[in-house]
Amino acid sequence: MYTSNIELTPDGNQNRQYDCVMAEMSPAALSMVADFFKVLSETSRLSIVCCLRNGPKNVTEIIEKTKLGQANVSKHLKILAQAGIVSRTQKGIHVYYQIANPFVFELCDLVCNSLSIQIQQQHQQLAQIRMMKQNLESGNG
């Protein structure tokens, strides 16, 4: 969805510019992208996706791993399958679910890493504010 161009600034630092491919998409295509993200916006579905990271599992295994109820797991697996995120394979009497395209893990990792950076930045900002407050209270500011 994004292409990246890296340029050097006059001081020698890297400047990364992003061209958004989505900006050129039709409203119908953007709607499909939004629908995909809606599917992943539910915590139970994310839990199921994470559960399937290490390989295929049947419904019973997913229930045990996620601690979700059977009806809930079945409902969310159906939604994930309709979105093309998971696929199912019948082996004997058992149906196994697996991630249809592993890029979903790259997407989740990207989001988690981005959130981690945001949290670290907020923590640093909070520490700076506390230090400023202490300096003001002690008469050093």
Average pLDDT over residues 54-68: 97
Determine contact, residues 24/33, Cβ cutoff 8 Å. no
- Write phi, then psi, for 48 (nearest 5 degrees): -65, -45
In a domain, 131, yes or no: yes
- Identify the domain containing residue 96 by its residue range: 40-101
Mean pLDDT within 50-62: 96
Q: Which residues contact 141 (CB under 8 A, 6 or more apart)?
A: 132, 135
Residue linked to tokens 């990246």: 4
Q: 73 is written with which tokens?
A: 């797991």
Helix (H, G, I), strand (E, B) or coil at 8: strand
User: Quick check: helix, strand or coil at residue 76?
Assistant: helix
Q: Pick the residue with more confidence: 134 or 22?
A: 134
Total structural domains in the chain?
A: 2
pLDDT tens per residue across span 76-87: 999 999 999 999
Q: Both 82 and 108 in a single domain?
A: no
pTM, full prediction: 0.70
